[in-house]
Structure 1
Amino acid sequence: MPLWLSEDDVRSLVTPADAVPVIEDCFRRMAAGQVELMPRRRFAVDGGYFAVMAATDRGLGVAGLKSYLLVEGRIEFVVCLFDLAEGTLAAMIAADKLGQVRTGAASGVAAKHLARRGAASLGLIGAGWQAESQLAAIRAAVPSIERVVVSSRSRERAEAFAEANGTDVAESPSEAGGCDVVVTATSSKDPVLRGDWLSDGALVCAIGANDPRARELDAQVIARATVVCCDSIEDARLESGDLIEPIAAGQLDWLEVQELAQIVSGGLPGRQADTDVVVFKSNGIAPWDLAIGHEVVRRARERGVGTQLDG
């Protein structure tokens, strides 16, 4: 019988730090050709949209999809996980927390492999739900991080985030943008990070804009980047305004964009020098949802968490 895991169940089973090695292993399976994904597709509905993304992971022995519905500002997520060996539905998982955790973990993996040696500062542009897991995962993946500053359009939100997460409030967005690792985690459709703010050797993790009409990075960020990578080129061609527009303008070519999986596996070198500026464009892909879903189901069964659904 399939297992149902609620948001509270997921929250009790996994943290962003727990998820970093899970997502790192997912990237390795992607590089080995064990994973196939279907990019996100959005269907318009009254007051919002319905989205579906799917994948198979032969290394884990699972297939599945994440779907979610946004209507009038309300959003609900679910992951359906299938067991390839048994040919059965293994679990259904409420996936808001799950998505937050896996997105943060992916940036943690990027920071582990692409931050310059001895990276000591982290700047967050955005102080919302996603920024929390970005901070937790990157702190776990890069132990040399000593100082974290957060910037938000709302000073009140930045102060609340800083108090809750043990960070400082940036005096300006440029202070956050000048850190060794910079995360953009916003809902903005217009750039929030300027290339002239970046320090030599910076790693930029851009996670907020997954719409071809939206950008978090200005043109100078891409111009300064020695390495540009993403989670999936197939998906980025559809969703990454931060890459689509510079490529259309002739500033970059898709042949120059790497996939993080190839860097994690050692197939491509990634950063070459401590002074390189590196960009990781993260849209969020279904293989991550399967990987972290598989892990929370494993933990749930070990600990007796969740509800068995009638067949």
Structure 2
Amino acid sequence: MPLWLSEEDVGSLITPDEAVPVIEESFLRMAAGQVELMPRRRFAVDGGAFAVMAAADRGLGTAGLKSYLAVEGRVQFVVCLFDLADGTLTAMIAADRLGQARTGAASGVAAKHLARPGAASLGLFGAGWQAESQLAAIRAAAPSIGRVVVSSRRAERAAAFAERHGAEVAETPADAGACDIVVTATSSKDPVLRGDWLQEGALVCAIGANDPRRRELDSQVIVRATLVCCDSLEGAKLESGDLIEPVAAGQLDWLEVCELHQIVAGELPGRQGHTDIVVFKSNGIAPWDVAIGHEVVRRARERGVGTEVPV
């Protein structure tokens, strides 16, 4: 029978730092041609939007989809997994925490493969739900990180985040932008990170804007970057305003943008020098949901967590 896992179940089964190797292995299967994916598709409904994304991972023997409905400021996520061998539905998973963990883990993978060796500081734009998993995963993947600086439009939120996570509140946004690794995890429609704040050798992980009408990075970030990569070129061309607008302005060419799995697998070089500025544009892709969902189901069955649902 398929297994139902609640948000509480997922939270008890995996943490963002534990998700890093799971997502790294997903990238390797993508590079090996074992994964097919369908980029996120959205359509409007009264008061909001409905989204669906899907993938099949032959290496795991699992296919799945994530869907969510955002209406009147409320959103609920679910992942459904299927066995590729017999077509059966194997699991249904409440997927807010799942998505938080896999998004953070992807930035952890980027930090492992693209950050400057010995990177010592992390700047966070945003102090919410996603910023927490970004911090946990990047700390696990880049243990040389010591200083964490958080910037938020809401000073009280930044202060609370800093107290919980051993960080410091940025005096100005430029303080967070001057770190070795810079993460933008915001809901802003307009750029929050300026390229002239970046120090040489910085890695930028832009994870908040997955809509062509939204940007977290100003064009100077892209102009200064030696390397720009994304999670999926097909998806980036649909929803990465941070890349779409610079391409339209002639500041970037899609031929210059690679996919992170190519670097993780060693098919393409990553950082070439200590002073290179590198950008990872993360929109979130369904292979990560399938991979992390498969892992939490494996753990749940080992530990007797979840509820079997007759179908």
TM-score interval, smaller chain:
over 0.9
Question: Which residue of 2 is the match for residue 139 of structure 1?
Answer: 139
Question: Which residue of 1 is the match for residue 262 of structure 2?
Answer: 262
3-state DSSP class of the match of 2:182? strand
What amino acid sits opposite 1:239 in the alignment? E
Whole-angstrom CA distance in 1 between matches of 2:164 and 2:6: 24
3-state DSSP class of the match of 2:157? helix
Count of residue pairs brought into register by the alignment = 311
Question: Which residue of 2 is the match for residue 286 of structure 1?
Answer: 286
Deviation at 1:166, TM superposition (A): 1.2
Unpaired runs of at least 5, structure 1: none
Matches within 5 A, 1:39-118: 39-118=39-118
3-state DSSP class of the match of 2:99? helix
1:283-308 Cα offsets, whole Å, 9 max, x none, are 00000000000000000000000000
Deviation at 1:254, TM superposition (A): 0.4
3-state DSSP class of the match of 2:263? helix
Structure 2 residue 239 is the aligned partner of structure 1 residue 213: no
Q: Percent identity, aligned pairs only?
A: 82
What amino acid sits opposite 2:246 in the alignment? P
Whole-angstrom CA distance in 2 between matches of 1:305 and 1:213: 41
Moved over 3 A (4+): none
Does 84-93 or 11-20 show the bigger shift? 84-93
Whole-angstrom CA distance in 1 between matches of 2:286 and 2:310: 26
1:242-284 Cα offsets, whole Å, 9 max, x none, are 0000001111100000100000000000100010000000000
Question: Which residue of 1 is the match for residue 27 of structure 2?
Answer: 27
Deviation at 1:43, TM superposition (A): 1.3
Question: Which residue of 1 is the match for residue 16 of structure 2?
Answer: 16
Whole-angstrom CA distance in 2 between matches of 1:51 and 1:69: 6
Deviation at 1:124, TM superposition (A): 0.1
Question: Which residue of 2 is the match for residue 241 of structure 1?
Answer: 241
What amino acid sits opposite 2:66 in the alignment? K
What amino acid sits opposite 2:292 in the alignment? I
1:79-128 Cα offsets, whole Å, 9 max, x none, are 00001113200000000000000000000000000000100000001101
Whole-angstrom CA distance in 1 between matches of 2:86 and 2:106: 29
Question: Which residue of 1 is the match for residue 305 of structure 2?
Answer: 305
Whole-angstrom CA distance in 2 between matches of 1:146 and 1:74: 36
Whole-angstrom CA distance in 2 between matches of 1:201 and 1:90: 44
Structure 2 residue 224 is the aligned partner of structure 1 residue 224: yes
1:119-173 Cα offsets, whole Å, 9 max, x none, are 0000001101100000000000000001001000011000010111111111111
Structure 2 residue 140 is the aligned partner of structure 1 residue 150: no
Matches within 5 A, 1:199-210: 199-210=199-210
What amino acid sits opposite 2:88 in the alignment? T
Question: Could you state the TM-score of these two structures normalised by the residue count of structure 1?
Answer: 1.00
Structure 2 residue 2 is the aligned partner of structure 1 residue 2: yes
Whole-angstrom CA distance in 2 between matches of 1:92 and 1:234: 27
Whole-angstrom CA distance in 2 between matches of 1:35 and 1:28: 10
Question: Which residue of 1 is the match for residue 194 of structure 2?
Answer: 194
Unpaired runs of at least 5, structure 2: none
Question: Could you state the TM-score of these two structures normalised by the residue count of structure 2?
Answer: 1.00
1:182-206 Cα offsets, whole Å, 9 max, x none, are 0000000100000000000000000
3-state DSSP class of the match of 1:211? coil
Whole-angstrom CA distance in 1 between matches of 2:75 and 2:221: 32
